[in-house]
Structure 1
């Protein structure tokens, strides 16, 4: 029997569609490409323009956004599939720098539904197919696709990319990808294709990634061997196999790792320079103007508020380094919420020396850690809790990111700072709270 026999064939709006898709499949994550490939073939889904695919433990979103910004500056029509979203699902489907409309997304949902038949798809698989359908039917010059989880068995990998990028490789999603960098590197190398450019910007790539690229005959570009960067406090330079870009301004995205991401983006553009030529000035301007919420995003005003979606030890280490580079602040407050399947102890270990007051919160997903569980992890890490408002350190628990943020804001002085991290949902909750002062903060 078809999965949708007892549900409306055509929900009335985008929110109803998303609610339906969330309820359908028996597993939230169901690794494998057989089902999604079948529906792809029924849709006759293919792209008539170059496709860039980006995977990695961290840095995927930044690399995708840099590519989009540069290519838009160069006058190209650009499609970008990026995830997850913060406030609106439409953020995942960007066409020419703008989120797609409800109507355009619903039309592609209906197209996938019409071809799905009795094939059961996860929320991620269905929406991935729909966004690809939307972009394949738009007049685009280039499409950029961000991989969700891993690479080899991720739904995005049904497409053969012209250029594939793997950014950083570290321990995350161990239940699905393995518990070593070698195992995870192999999974991420699954997006590489024979005879196509395969870029890795991790400074120490796992041998498994190198071996797989060589085994399938991919054209592997490694940082330090095939491309590199140098720089000083004022500017930086990119050097590739046959192209140099000098006098570059630093990307507007803050953080110690952004030159790794920028170099990968410029390497991809070098590989595609005959199909998509980009001038030096277009590259400079694109990097300076790129925007991406939640990646060491420093908000205007006092106290300083930093939004960072860091949710694994590798990203937390980068966040810690970035916080350390910011100069002196009397106190640092954290708004921290996390999924339970993350290495919470590893994240805390990276950041405990940077944070004085912890405002930990529940998140609105069943697989999220509770605030009480986060408090236990902090205490096990040796963080001292004291309920006094003027204590040197404290841990307080809250039901929502908005409530945790409101508390931190009420306690922080104008020279202090608040860092919001641990999950996209933590950052999204604070973004929503800042946009809607009437939101529940108890």
Structure 2
């Protein structure tokens, strides 16, 4: 198989939560444990930092990787989902894994993959661990996929665990209260391993403190301390919390004997995160003016709350919103966040989980959001451009998959 054929095999043969939803979700560490045993446990050959949370874990992971790169470390970075190229999930010092590696890994282990019915994510995690072993990275930043306790990444013993915040997302799998979800996220807290919590929240603090005490894990809440709002290529005022979490994490790492991260590396790493790691889709300006076009991957209540606040800080004559969502999204909590005076262009993301433009348009109408529907995201964006004046603003979002189609 060539690279495209390999991806087609992975997308079509392996259950993939991002595309299929609940039917592809495995709440079990059995397969990833078997895979890593079969690969001679590559995850034990390098240091790691584990990053979980509801919102901000991707940005936080990329910023940590960037800071460590600036400090002179060879840094692996495993994140999900990808936007354009599968290999975005597996990077070393910002460079994606080679196509040949992906092809050869799948070919070499195809019999095992099929015999054990690995999910897409299980395979990807094992592949990332093997790549980081081969590349002999000094440290790898490993982002949790979904939850924490039973997430496939949770077989590592990291140098530090980081949990950004807790919000009501993926409630069908993680629980329908902040306390229950925090319990799942707290599953990445390991015995005697320090943990940084990004935000102290009334409903979740006790959960984290109890888990940390049980594991004799030193715990600190970044929001308890004051940190400077460092300049960053990642725009959006909501990134301040993520930057504070990274600064707290660096402070904890520097207290360990095996890390030396100068202040200059912290400042430069946060500033140059996009050029160092290739992160896209977070308050990304697609077009500077005539009209200004911005996209963001925020897709749950907490994430979209931050995005809507950011929109209010923008200056424009008329706001146009290209919107698409997945079918298992809790629209009753999400749609009320959107402004009623915007012009809407509803469409369906090009994934099986995507909610049809007709259903989204009808549901949005219940919340006073009016607009036209389009079969494709690209058509919706083109219609928004045609209807816009130079002083207008176009926002594109609602789902990671919507953003992936337009960048």
Equivalence for 1:323: 311
Q: Please give the secondary structure, in 1, of the residue aligned with 2:396.
A: strand
Distance 1:268 1:80 in 2: 16
Question: How far did residue 252 of structure 1 move?
Answer: 2.2
Deviates more, 1:110-119 or 1:14-23: 110-119
Distance 1:176 1:90 in 2: 27
Equivalence for 1:370: 356
Report matched runs for 1:60-75 at 5 Å: 60-75=57-72
Question: How far did residue 349 of structure 1 move?
Answer: 0.9
Distance 1:229 1:255 in 2: 19
CA deviation profile, 1:147-195 (whole Å, cap 9, x unmatched):
1111111111121222111112000001100101001001001111010
Question: How far did residue 333 of structure 1 move?
Answer: 0.7
Q: Contact 1:297–1:308 at 8 Å: present in 2 too?
A: yes
Distance 1:117 1:357 in 2: 48
Q: Please give the secondary structure, in 1, of the residue aligned with 2:115.
A: coil
Distance 2:380 2:232 in 1: 31
The question of 1:29 aligning with 2:39 is answered: no
Equivalence for 1:15: 4
CA RMSD across the alignment: 1.7
Q: 1:156 aligns with which of 145, 153, 158?
A: 153
The question of 1:176 aligning with 2:154 is answered: no
The structure-2 alpha-carbon separation of the partners of 1:399 and 1:72, relative to structure 1 and needing over 3 Å to count, comes to same
Q: 1:396 aligns with which of 354, 357, 372?
A: 372
Q: 1:406 aligns with which of 361, 376, 382?
A: 382
Q: Please give the secondary structure, in 2, of the residue aligned with 1:164.
A: strand
Equivalence for 1:219: 218
Question: How far did residue 412 of structure 1 move?
Answer: 1.0
CA deviation profile, 1:363-397 (whole Å, cap 9, x unmatched):
222221111111112110023x3xxxxxxxxx011
Distance 1:159 1:111 in 2: 24
The structure-2 alpha-carbon separation of the partners of 1:224 and 1:367, relative to structure 1 and needing over 3 Å to count, comes to closer
Question: How far did residue 422 of structure 1 move?
Answer: 0.8
Q: Please give the secondary structure, in 2, of the residue aligned with 1:287.
A: helix
Distance 2:391 2:342 in 1: 14
Q: Contact 1:73–1:285 at 8 Å: present in 2 too?
A: yes
Q: Contact 2:222–2:248 at 8 Å: present in 1 too?
A: no
Question: How far did residue 15 of structure 1 move?
Answer: 2.4
The question of 1:305 aligning with 2:293 is answered: yes
Q: 1:280 aligns with which of 230, 247, 263?
A: 263
Report matched runs for 1:26-425 at 5 Å: 27-45=23-41, 46-113=43-110, 115-116=112-113, 118-204=115-201, 206=204, 207-225=206-224, 228-231=225-228, 236=229, 249-273=230-254, 274-291=257-274, 292-302=279-289, 303-326=291-314, 328-353=315-340, 356-383=342-369, 385=370, 395-425=371-401
> Larger C-alpha radius of gyration, 1 or 2?
1
The structure-2 alpha-carbon separation of the partners of 1:230 and 1:130, relative to structure 1 and needing over 3 Å to count, comes to closer
Distance 1:220 1:48 in 2: 26
Question: How far did residue 109 of structure 1 move?
Answer: 2.7
Q: Contact 1:194–1:219 at 8 Å: present in 2 too?
A: no
Question: How far did residue 112 of structure 1 move?
Answer: 4.1
Question: How far did residue 58 of structure 1 move?
Answer: 0.7
Question: How far did residue 268 of structure 1 move?
Answer: 2.1
Q: Contact 1:254–1:296 at 8 Å: present in 2 too?
A: yes
Distance 2:332 2:345 in 1: 16
Structure number with the bigger relative contact order (C-alpha 8 A, sep ≥ 6) is 2
Deviates more, 1:42-51 or 1:21-30: 21-30
Q: Please give the secondary structure, in 1, of the residue aligned with 2:28.
A: coil
Distance 2:328 2:238 in 1: 25
Q: Contact 1:105–1:131 at 8 Å: present in 2 too?
A: no
Distance 1:60 1:267 in 2: 14
Structure with more of its chain in helix, by fraction: 2
Q: Contact 2:227–2:244 at 8 Å: present in 1 too?
A: no
Question: How far did residue 68 of structure 1 move?
Answer: 1.4
Distance 1:212 1:43 in 2: 31
Distance 1:25 1:49 in 2: 28
Q: Please give the secondary structure, in 1, of the residue aligned with 2:150.
A: coil
Distance 1:221 1:131 in 2: 29
Distance 2:329 2:251 in 1: 36
